[in-house]
Amino acid sequence: MVATEVRDVTGVLERLATERSGVIGVPPGLVVTPDATWTPATELLRQPYTLLGELVDQTAARWNAPRHVGAALFWKTYGYWHTLPMALAWALGGPIPVMPLAETYFKVSEAGVTIGASRVRWGSGPEAIREALEESQAPLVRVLSGMAKVGERTLWGSTAEAFAHPLTLIEPGDYMALLREIGRPVDGLVEPAGDAYFRRTCCLWVTLPDVEPCGSCCVLKPRPGSA
């Protein structure tokens, strides 16, 4: 059964890669053979967090943004691509592909960052996703929050959106049910709005000069009693 579901997830990712002219932040097969172009994700957590700080600073410089905004935007990209395969697999009703932290690799790419693993572990349902978030995302969220003085809730809001976005626009699924089953720290950070959704936290993109807010931005949410 796992082999069938691998093909399903891979097929969706291949379709997405085609639609995006190859600009996608995960290899469709998820598994990579690391060479010198890949960096172990564990290097991001190596004290004094030099590499992670450089990536945050590069993101901030790219958008002429303060460091805390650079951290939030870096995480919005990294968290999205790390979360996407798990969200799609859940929507497809198959086993969940988990990239073990010790076997996860990344590289800077046209997609912002591309993430793959030398081995994928397979789990089941929201529990596997919750464990993957705790293993691979929670340590980075904690370090980014402390390093750049950006709230953990803000960062987890981007992970929550990384479930809502693909299950709204790529492979339909009840993202609200999934977020409830995963629980903290992602539950309650997005809310449905017709066929779309709004975040309850801001990714901080809207704080940049001369940009339009994201379509899901909390600042666009109609206020109670507004016309």
146 domain-assigned: yes
The number of helix segments (H) and strand segments (E) in the chain equals: 7, 7
Residue 38 inside a domain? The answer is yes
What CATH number has the domain bearing residue 50? 1.10.510
Residue range 172-178: average pLDDT?
A: 97
The predicted structure's pLDDT at residue 227: 47
Q: Please report the pLDDT score of residue 207 as a whole number.
A: 87
What is the per-residue pLDDT for 2?
Answer: 44
Q: Residue 44's closest CA among 129, 109, 108?
A: 108
Q: What is the pLDDT of residue 218?
A: 75
Number of independent structural domains in the chain: 1
Closest to 25 (Cα-Cα) out of 131, 126, 111: 111
Q: Which residues of 125-142 are buried (b: 16+ CB within 10 A; e: fewer)?
A: ebebbbebbebbbeebbe
- Whether residue 215 is contained in a domain is answered as no
What amino acid is encoded at 47 in this protein?
A: Q
pLDDT above 70 (res 158): yes
The reply to whether 185 falls in a domain is yes
The rounded distance, in Å, linking the Cα atoms of 108 and 39 is: 9
- CA neighbor of 182 nearest in space, from 202, 156, 201: 156
Range of the domain at 115: 27-206
217: in domain: no
pTM of the model: 0.92
**Considering the domain boundaries, does residue 155 fall inside one?**
yes
Beta strands in 22-103 (DSSP E): 39-40, 96-98
Burial of 191 (0-12, 13-18, 19+ CB in 10 A): middle
Q: Does residue 7 form part of some domain?
A: no
Cβ neighbors of 80 (< 8 A, separation 6 or more) are 25, 158, 161, 162, 165
Give pLDDT tens digits for 39-97: 999 999 999 999 999 999 999 999 999 999 999 999 999 999 999 999 999 999 999 99
DSSP class of residue 213 equals P
**Within-domain flag for 211:** no
